[in-house]
Structure 1
Amino acid sequence: MATYRATADWSLKDGEDFATGRYSRGHSVVFGSGFEAPGTASPHVVGNRWSVPGALDPEEMLVGAIATCHMLSFLHVAREAGFSVTHYRDTAEGVMEKRDDGEMWVSRVTLRPEIAYAGRSPDAASAHHMHHRAHEICFIANSVKTEIVVEEALVGGV
């Protein structure tokens, strides 16, 4: 078993009014590794006035966690299958929408990996199998109910 930690830290600033919702959603997130990232609420949720430009919102962090977990899992699966990956780029996208009960959720994350290989490249069926296996072993994918779709792009050897 492993334990992971993150500390979210927010404070009301002078001139802000918590009772009326007139306060910045800017905060910091310090991860167990010591890395500190600026955080905010999504401007899609609270508007630009209360969101902080350039800071990460929870929805972006979720999409990033899913994309990086799938990437790391795929690299492992590809190596074990005898392929040599030289580059992996994923322009992932998450969709937030209302559930039937009216609550918002990230319903789907679409991964769009583009992968380059040295030497031989997998055929479409092998690439699909590797992505399927990567999804099965991805800790984050196993932890969320969000639908995760992989739109594979074969880049080939370089």
Structure 2
Amino acid sequence: MKKHQYKSQVVWEGNTGEGTKNYTSYGRDYTISHAHKPPILGSSDPHFRGNPERINPEELLLSSVSSCHMLWYLHLCSANGVIVLSYSDDATGVMVENADGSGYFSEITLHPKVLVKDLKMIAKALELHHEANKLCFIANSLNFKVLHVPTVEVLNDGM
């Protein structure tokens, strides 16, 4: 078994002069840094007094699941002779907030839209989404299922 380690630094930028004196006294902005990579500007969801111009942890989780699935999917397509010409995903997630303020994601649904080179590739292209889900490191780390509603189209000869 191989183990991989990752490092991330999160620095809170929300002290407006009073620290966390009360719920409304501080900002939710922060910066995520990884060595030699551009910073990610984060905040909490606007429902929780966050900055709507910054990405929030819930969006990061959703995009992590979506991008992990995509990367495994593209790998599997390349290994199985499926030529993908374009890929996009309009992923959605549902977070449930409990009465005590805690919460959890109950589901994430990926909606990958794939364009393949040849009509004969469509069946295999659809099948490989299931395999990508089984291999995705992020999906395997969650305590809920990740659903998939893929669309695969073939390149039109007139394009």
TM-score when normalising by structure 1: 0.86
Cα RMSD over matched residues?
2.1
Structure 1: segments with no counterpart, 5+ residues: none
CA distance in 1, matches of 2:16, 2:97: 34
Per the alignment, residue 19 of structure 1 pairs with: 21
10-19 vs 77-86, which moves further? 10-19
Aligned position for 1:116? 115
Query: More displaced, 7-16 or 56-65?
Result: 7-16
SS at match of 1:70: helix
Q: Secondary structure at the match of 1:146?
A: coil
Q: How many residues align?
A: 153
Q: What are the equivalent positions in structure 2 for 1:27-66 lying under 5 Å apart?
A: 27-44=30-47, 46=48, 50-66=49-65
Is this contact kept in 2: 1:121–1:157, CA < 8 A?
A: no
Aligned to 1:135: 133
Matches of 1:33 and 1:119 in 2, distance apart? 39
Q: Which SS does the other structure have where 2:67 is aligned? A: helix
Q: Residue 14 of structure 2 contacts residue 28 of structure 2 at CA under 8 Å; is this kept in 1?
A: no
TM-score w.r.t. the length of structure 2 is 0.86
Q: After TM superposition, what 4+ stretches of structure 1 lie above 6 angstroms from structure 2?
A: 99-102
Aligned equivalents of 2:113 and 2:15: distance in 1?
43
Gap change, CA 1:89 and 1:100, over 3 Å in 2: same
Which runs of 5 or more structure 2 residues have no equivalent in the other structure?
Answer: none
Equivalence for 2:10: 8
Query: Cα distance 1:108–1:121, how it changes in 2: closer, same or farther (>3 A)?
Result: farther
Q: Look up the SS of the partner of 1:69 in the other structure.
A: helix
Q: Percent of pairs identical after alignment?
A: 29
SS at match of 1:83: coil
